[in-house]
Amino acid sequence: MTTLVNRILLLAAFITPNFVGAEEERPNIVFLFSDDLTTQAISAYNYGLKLPPTPNLDRLAKGGMLFENSFCGNSICTPSRATVMTGLHSHKNGIVNLGGALDPKRPSWPKKLQQSGYATAVFGKWHMKTKPSGFDAWEVFSGQGSYYNPDLFGPKGSRRVEGHSTDVVTDIALDWLEGRDKTKPFALMIQHKAPHRNWKPSIKELELYRDITFPEPPSLFDTYEGRVSASNHKMGIDKHMSMASDLMMFKEDQAKKVLGRLTPEQRKAYLAAFESENAEFLANPPTGKELVRWKYQRYMKNYLRCVAGVDRNVGRVLDKLDALKLRENTIVVYCADQGFYLGEHGWFDKRWAYEESLKMPLIVRWPGKIKPGSRCEAMVQNIDYAPTLLEAAGAETDWKVHGISLMPLLTNGGVTPEAWRKTLYYRYIDGGHGVAKHSAIRTNTHKLLHFDQPRNTAEEGSLWELFDLKKDPQEMTNLAGDASQSAKLESMKKLFRETREFYDDTDENAWTNRRSQKFPPEAYIRPPRRR
């Protein structure tokens, strides 16, 4: 077919079926999953941002492999989670936006492992509406879940557990690990809400970073000149953060509403943590850019406090594996559902195909198989997780997936095979936060974005953005209208069409709003409301 297809098909030569031989013990799998925890916040990525260290995520990276170029295919929670489970891009896994629900009958890697004799469990944030299938044990939030005293839903019904969700989910997962069926290998998914908006850290982390001023990103006051749709966003630190619910700037009458779920003791600790800073703000409120700077600092402190809680609990999991003597035969995967903006371009949230939200963390440790402290520069994507974990466990992917097993990378020190993929595909249609529907491809050097219908314009020439990632890593200069780049633009458009065809993304009906998708009421964690 095309050069693109040939490149991808050549990968088959590097994949060894049934990686685990009959004489080998099948590895356990611990899959640690965060919501919106971006690579910028993980010190092992070493971006030089002078942000706080993440010692336990760094510990994991030192014992395994860190992927420098790991990406999602749809930078929003529910679609990304469906991609992780199925190995398929959104238009084929059935979840294209936040309204989607995972078909309980759809194949997934945990379901296949369960069928292959694994004990399987998932705890924490699920966010795909239907009850988890393919798991021997599960307790999950019904949607976003609550940071404090979360309600957990399982086969026996629901219960409220007092505490911070990051600690609560880890506690439940470690209890399952202690009491699991020890005659079977296991696959355990531990899925944290943190650091999702609206950034409520554990009381254990509330005092962190009080006296630190974090460096501002160079693009904090980006004007979006030359870009098609970025100025239409509704995800700005300047105008779109709530002073109360997002930034904990309480007035007395607001505190109960914002902290209503907390116990009296928890609420007292929260009010005390912000009391002096809030009083200082109210005594002399900043304005203009100084207000943006104040918001940025408060946002970063609470976000990074949530990250610290995740990191602490990752350490608890690693310690438990050591204590149970499970370390040597357990694959530990750490990842998030997408990246996130820490003030770059003046933003929080995700959704765009720009680097900060497109790129997602991925760290994998497997003693004896993966070289400790290795780093991989190959472009990988969350469609790859399912075939990778199944191959590692000696199980077959018996449904068609878009992803490629990462085993050739994991077992050769991260060296990229010559025939490895050269192009990534991305598509977003949710429309939240004012982000226009768009598609993109990324190569090692360039990125091309295509907007379905950007606001205030209908000219074909204005639908494209082209970035040189080597010369312009912050993606500030759109080259699509630069005459000197016309040849590059046309070659990228051709590659864009080829990539879309390769992934069979040619049926627009596959991208219709999936809120109308219905399953029997008993399939849902909580039955949908009648309209």
CA distance readout (Å), 105 to 187, 342, 519: 19, 37, 10
Global confidence as pTM: 0.94
294, 285 in Cβ contact below 8 A? no
Write down the CATH number for the domain with range 1-19+26-526. 3.40.720.10
Q: How far apart are CA 310 and CA 332, in angstroms?
A: 15
Delimit the domains of the chain by residue range.
1-19+26-526
Is residue 120 over pLDDT 50? Answer: yes
Burial 389-417 (b: 16+ CB within 10 A, else e): bbbbbbbebeeebbbbbbbbbbbeebebe
Q: How confident is the model at residue 456 (pLDDT cuts 50, 70, 90)?
A: very low
**Residue 517: what pLDDT?**
67
Residue 387 token pair: 């075939």
Contacts of 272 (CB under 8 A, 6+ apart): none
Q: pLDDT of 5-60, one tens digit each?
A: 434 433 433 333 445 554 479 999 999 999 999 999 999 999 999 999 999 999 99
Three-state SS at 213: coil
56, 312 in Cβ contact below 8 A? yes
Three-state SS at 42: coil
Backbone conformation region of residue 248, classed left if phi is above 0, alpha if psi is from -120 to 50, else beta: left
Share above pLDDT 90 across residues of the chain, in percent, rounded to a whole number? 87
Residue 134 token pair: 């393919």
**Residue 513: what pLDDT?**
58
DSSP per position, 428-495: E---GGGPPPEEEEE-SSEEEEEESS-TT---GGGGEEEEETTT-TT-----TT-GGGHHHHHHHHHH
Q: pLDDT of 244-272, one tens digit each?
A: 999 999 877 788 888 989 999 999 999 99
Q: Work out whether strand 424-428 and strand 438-442 pair parallel, antiparallel, or are unpaired.
A: antiparallel
**Residue 12: what pLDDT?**
39
Q: pLDDT of 378-402, one tens digit each?
A: 999 999 999 999 999 999 999 999 9
Residue 404 token pair: 């490629």
Query: If 0-12 CB within 10 Å is exposed, 13-18 middle and 19+ buried, where does residue 465 land?
Result: buried
Is residue 482 over pLDDT 80? Answer: yes
